[in-house]
């Protein structure tokens, strides 16, 4: 098998602001794995929050030698080898995982969701993300999200109430909140979440820093809406410890090394009676479609990273009235545009 990759700059429709900063574009690494003339596509969208960058992804991929494998169906052996090269590097590993799954689907001439025995009609409705911004920009974003019945709203700074009030003036749509670790004390988090309950918010994601699990548990005992772990939930080994503080987890392929581990995390969370959400980074339709292929397994989806960009180099999963519509082509079902 031959591994190839290239960097690509995804351009955002709007500056995207969360508690950790603002950006106007996002660099990703587009990956190809070729076997007997068939090419599988993957993507790595690195996050500094998890110790990655475009440079670390490229350096990691340089160290991967797939020529020692001549059977792409030996996915356990291949991905165990990839995971053993270095710790971390989760998005780089996810890119390889995604490309391998695309490849075996194409070899079998079967869509990925069918390989996993899933019903494409059971895909969830994805939320549409609105970043932290000024009221007039928030209003424009709400208008642009007209087709999406669920809004995911980034909070965690000083203008939280202003953002929610601006949205509630325009719509009574379902709102999910992501604070991205922005509320630094349990008292602040409790006050914020109690207010958000009254605004009809469905759940709150990662209200406090990931290293303060006890404070999240304290808050959860005093509120009436679910709290979902994101930054606290990176890989499979994180999940068993989260039940004491969280009602659910947000799995992202770029955090967890890809589809193979995501399914293990879903099954573990289910055994703990926890809700499961599939999220994403800013990604092209390669990464988003990969997540969408296993979305019938989860309760919530936030798979909109490709909807926030202007220059998607692929097409794949579609969205109709917010619902994820899976392609029927083999593998991921994505088509390379440029």
> Cα–Cα distance between 204 and 228 in angstroms, integer?
6
Catalytic residues: 154, 252
Top mean-pLDDT range of 14-18, 92-96, 158-162: 92-96
pLDDT reported for residue 18: 86
The answer for 171, left when phi > 0, alpha when psi is -120 to 50, beta otherwise, is beta
pLDDT reported for residue 226: 98
The pLDDT of 127-143, averaged and rounded, is 94
pLDDT reported for residue 79: 99
The pLDDT of 123-137, averaged and rounded, is 95
In the chain, which ranges are continuous DSSP H helix? 54-62, 75-85, 90-108, 112-115, 135-144, 160-170, 186-198, 213-220, 253-256, 259-271, 285-293
The pLDDT of 40-61, averaged and rounded, is 98
Give domain 2-109's CATH superfamily. Answer: Enolase-like, N-terminal domain (3.30.390.10)
DSSP structure string for 261-304: HHHHHHHHHHHTT-EEEEE--S--HHHHHHHHHTGGG-SEE---
Confidence of residue 253 (pLDDT cuts 50, 70, 90): very high
> Cα–Cα distance between 320 and 329 in angstroms, integer?
18
pLDDT reported for residue 20: 83
Q: What is the mean pLDDT of the chain?
A: 97
Model pTM score = 0.96
pLDDT reported for residue 17: 84
In percent, the amount of the chain with pLDDT more than 90 equals: 97
Given a cut of 90, whether residue 142 has pLDDT beyond it is yes
Cβ-proximal residues to 46 (8 Å cutoff; 6+ apart), any chain: 27, 28, 29, 52, 53, 54, 56, 57, 91, 92, 254
Confidence of residue 19 (pLDDT cuts 50, 70, 90): confident
Q: Which fold has domain 114-336?
A: TIM Barrel (3.20.20)
- Residue 65 marked as a ligand binder: no
Q: What is the pLDDT of residues 164-213, one digit of tens each?
A: 999 999 999 999 999 999 999 999 999 999 999 999 999 999 999 999 99
- Residue 178 marked as a ligand binder: yes
């Amino acid at each position: 098998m031959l591994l190839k990759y290239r960097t690509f700059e995804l351009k955002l429709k709007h500056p995207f602001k969360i508690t950790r900063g603002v950006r106007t574009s996002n660099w990703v690494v587009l990956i190809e794995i070729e076997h007997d003339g068939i090419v599988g596509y993957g993507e790595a969208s690195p996050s500094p929050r998890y110790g990655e960058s475009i440079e670390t992804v490229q350096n990691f991929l340089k160290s991967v030698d797939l020529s020692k494998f001549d059977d792409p169906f030996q996915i356990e052996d291949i991905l165990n080898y990839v995971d053993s090269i270095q710790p971390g590097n989760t998005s780089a590993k996810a890119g390889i995982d995604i490309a391998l799954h695309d490849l075996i689907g194409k070899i079998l001439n079967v869509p990925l969701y069918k390989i996993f025995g899933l019903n494409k009609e059971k895909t969830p409705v994805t939320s549409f993300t609105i970043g932290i911004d000024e009221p007039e920009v928030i209003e424009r974003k709400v208008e642009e999200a007209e087709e999406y019945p669920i809004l995911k709203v980034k909070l965690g700074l000083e203008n939280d109430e202003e953002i929610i009030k601006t949205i509630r003036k325009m719509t009574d749509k379902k709102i999910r909140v992501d604070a991205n670790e922005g509320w630094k004390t349990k008292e602040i988090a409790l006050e914020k979440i109690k207010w958000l309950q009254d605004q009809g918010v469905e759940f709150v994601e990662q209200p406090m820093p990931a290293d303060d699990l006890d404070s999240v548990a304290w808050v959860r005992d005093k509120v009436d809406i679910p709290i979902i772990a994101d930054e606290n939930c990176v890989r499979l080994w994180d999940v068993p410890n989260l039940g004491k503080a969280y009602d659910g987890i947000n799995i992202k392929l770029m955090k967890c090394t890809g589809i193979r581990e995501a399914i293990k995390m879903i099954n573990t969370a289910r055994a703990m009676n926890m809700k499961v959400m599939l999220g994403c980074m800013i990604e092209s339709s390669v990464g988003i479609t990969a997540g969408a292929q296993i979305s019938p397994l989860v309760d919530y989806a936030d798979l909109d990273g490709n909807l926030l960009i202007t220059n998607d180099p692929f097409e794949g999963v579609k969205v109709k009235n917010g619902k994820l519509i899976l392609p029927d082509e083999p593998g991921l079902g994505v088509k390379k545009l440029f």
